Amino acid sequence: MPFGAFALLSRDSHAFILTFIGPVGVGKSTQIKLAKDYLKLRDIRVIQTFIKSNHTLTYILDRSLKAVGASEKVSYEGFTRIYPRRDIVRKLFSLWCFLDALSISTKFLFTVQIPFRLGFTPIIEEGLIMTFHTYMLSFPHFFGTKPRILPFVPNLLGWVVSKNNFTFVLDATDDELNQRRRSRNYRQNELPEYIETQRTWFRNFSLGNTIFVDTTRLSALEVHKKIVARLEKSQTTSPSSSM
């Protein structure tokens, strides 16, 4: 297979930044592993990270609220999740946002920016665009907060856009997503409202080199081949396309 775009990647040159987003169970982690293996075979240094929301400091806050009983259950078709109480989240929302922005910025510095400058290719699961989704759509929908843009995050996203970057948006039909979750012993159903807010965000999302990949009825290897083919043709295709 010709190296194509990957021929530009070496320890003496800037790397790509690859981001994988999509609903729970669509296969992001699997595709990231396949991409890592593919790049490593070509002597390209890779670092993997997860960036979205509820990182270190807000995770501690979340767990603390649950530990003291400041939580409530949300159920759907027999599936129950425990969340911090919505009224408390609204009261603490400014603090919550600041703590998450600080946690995300620190993690981004050490797992994306510094490695990238050292010649590594960061592969990000979810990414900063999904941080925007969390605080612009998800929190307002489920907790009744006002849409919020976290401090520092727009600057970090602008930095990513200024580099060689690709974002792969993976999706599949609802029936197939549920089947994949069951086959992996994952939770049988994700809350449909959450999946719909994600898809709404995806449909209105186009940032740099964004590639939409329908994984319905495709094996993990078939999806991987489509991703590699798109990257190999990166210098001759349009910035945003579907597969």
Radius of gyration of the chain, Cα coordinates, nearest whole angstrom: 19
Winning range, highest mean pLDDT, from 73-82, 104-113, 200-209: 104-113
> Residue 104: which of 46, 64, 54 has the closest Cα?
54
pLDDT in tens, 175-232: 898 888 878 766 545 667 778 888 888 777 766 688 999 999 999 999 999 999 988 8
Distance CA 157, CA 151 (A): 11
Give the CA distances from residue 61 to residues 83, 100, 113, 128, 200, in Å, rounded to whole numbers and listed in that order.
12, 10, 26, 21, 29
The CA dihedral of 215, 221, 224, 225, to the nearest 10 degrees, is -110
SS3 49: strand
Indicate the CATH number for domain 4-53+98-242. 3.40.50.300
pLDDT at 88 (0 to 100): 95
Lowest pLDDT segment from 7-11, 121-125, 195-199: 7-11
Locate the DSSP E strands across 27-95: 46-51, 71-76, 79-84
Q: How many CB atoms lie within 10 A of CB 11?
A: 11
